[in-house]
Amino acid sequence: MSLSRWSPQTASFPVRTHRSRYDAVVVGTGPGGLAAAVLLARHGLSVAVFEGQDTVGGGMRSAELTLPGFVHDVCSAIHPMGVASPWFRQLPLERFGLEWITPPAALAHPLEGRAVLLEGSVEHTARTLGADAARYRTLMGPLSERWQSLVPELLQPLLHLPRDLPGLVRFGLPALLPARALAGAFRTPEARALLAGLAGHTVMPLEAPATGAITLMLGLIGHAVGWPLPRGGSQAIADALAGYLRFLGGEIYTGAPVADLTELPPARAVLLDLVPRGALKVLGHRLPSAYARQLEAYRHGAGVFKVDYALSAPVPWASPEVARAGTVHLGGSLEEIARSEREVGLGRAPERPYVLVAQQSLFDDTRAPDGKHTLWAYCHVPGGFAGDLTERIEAQIERFAPGFRDTVLARRATTAPAFEAYNPNYVGGDVNGGSSDLWQLLARPTLSAVPYRTPLPGVYLCSAATPPGGGVHGMGGYHAARHALRDVFGMRPRNWPLR
């Protein structure tokens, strides 16, 4: 069957009983699990993937959460890392139904009476920052110019031999700073707020060391490739990966939870798209006690509280240019955002939360009925926090979009415990697979040059609890599968041209 003749609309895959033995078995269909399975299958190995839920996807799922015809992203929504991922860029996912939509602006950050946007080139954005234009060019320009060599360096374990040492040094020096200090070095409220909003994605207090890393990473990628969204919802990414895997001969079994290794068919390699807590349950007493204790000590970070909206009209932003961005950061000034994230770090629900918003339906007409819209919004909360912050989120939206509440047709809130119930990898509502503090950037989930390997021969971890951490990029699965190819199968991993 030639790739050019495959169609996701016409293809069908009959349910089959799995064979008695495979080269490799993968547990979980999140980005890491599917990415690992595709790499192994692309090297000619027989691969089976087992998923506990009835659909594939992990954090890449979409559903009608509010009203019929309104398609919401259950977890992840905007995917700069998906487009920039060195592994996904090698895959023909567009032939399996994936279409990226890139809004004119990567993000918008409203302030009182105005908004700052990250869009286009570094120069374009810098010109909007007044007295901070030169400082912004100096910080972001050299990084965005070498993004194609720098991103692969950043999306792997920190303990590695770099290929772009000059770029890594240029990135690493400001990246080690607390985001509060990085943003505080700017003078204008616009520049300080822009960097603070980026820093909020760390899900850490902005005063924590190395929170500058995500700030810079998301900014440089925004200038390089934008912050795109998949047409039809994030489920399209999972479906494209699954479709390509099946085309390569891989098998996927949904509604098949795995509680112990003995429930899997025999295989030479087993890859687990599970955080340490889940891996401990599946691997059980087989693990050496010292390694098990390291997994038990792995720490999860803050949770999230999310509200999905069905709207009668677009959000009525006070600054109309906000409608040019797929992502909106709501929180006001650097000081306000820092306060919000600090409160979460202290175990308190913030009174005026920093809110991340995605307005996909402005750019993707498949998300809502004609003339209607969706909105995706969440804030950070202490891990396991079960309270309802809907009113606080809506107050922040209304602050920058007066009249927003009048457009709401329906809403659905998801608490941090509900996220964990939906996906056990989201411990306490932590959708990033574990805290990203400085220690766990180095030791994720253990301090090792190859943190994907477990002490059990042929068993690997490939979840967001492995480097490079959370996000829809598949690189944890990519690296884990490459080590499995070398260790178990004695194969030299191949690379394919970037797309």
Residue 106 DSSP SS3: strand
pTM (2 decimals)?
0.94
Neighbouring C-alpha atoms within 13 Å toward the C-beta of 199: 38
**Within a domain: 383:** no
How many folded domains does the chain comprise? 1
Residue with tokens 């969440």: 378
Residue 239 domain-assigned? yes
pLDDT tens figures, 447-477: 998 999 999 999 999 999 999 999 999 999 9
- Inside any domain, residue 470: yes
* Omega of the bond leading into 468 within 30 degrees of 0 (cis): yes
Q: What is the pLDDT of residue 9?
A: 33
CA-CA-CA-CA torsion sign (428, 303, 394, 218): negative
Q: What pLDDT shows up at residue 120?
A: 85
> What's the confidence (pLDDT) of residue 207?
97
Could you tell me the two tokens for 220?
A: 């440089």
pLDDT at residue 499 in the model = 75
Residue 1 is predicted with a pLDDT of: 30
Position of tokens 């939509």?
Answer: 101
Note the pLDDT of residue 226: 96
Nearest to 369 by CA among 361, 357, 379: 361
Q: What is residue 17's predicted lDDT score, i.e. its pLDDT?
A: 54
Q: Of 21, 31, 18, which Cα lies nearest the Cα of 480?
A: 31
CA distance 244 to 499: 15
Judge whether 347 lies within some domain. no
- CA–CA separation, 485 and 38 (whole Å): 12
Q: Residue type for 471, please?
A: G
Name the stretches of the chain with pLDDT < 50: 1-16
**Is 140 within 8 Å of 122 (Cβ atoms)?**
yes
Q: What is the CATH number of the domain that holds 34?
A: 3.50.50.60
Residue 287 placed within a domain = yes
Q: Is residue 375 part of a domain?
A: no
Residue 39 in any domain: the answer is yes
The span from the CA of 196 to the CA of 191, in Å, is 9
Domain range spanning residue 26? 12-63+76-84+230-298+432-487
- Asked if residue 162 is part of any domain, the answer here is no
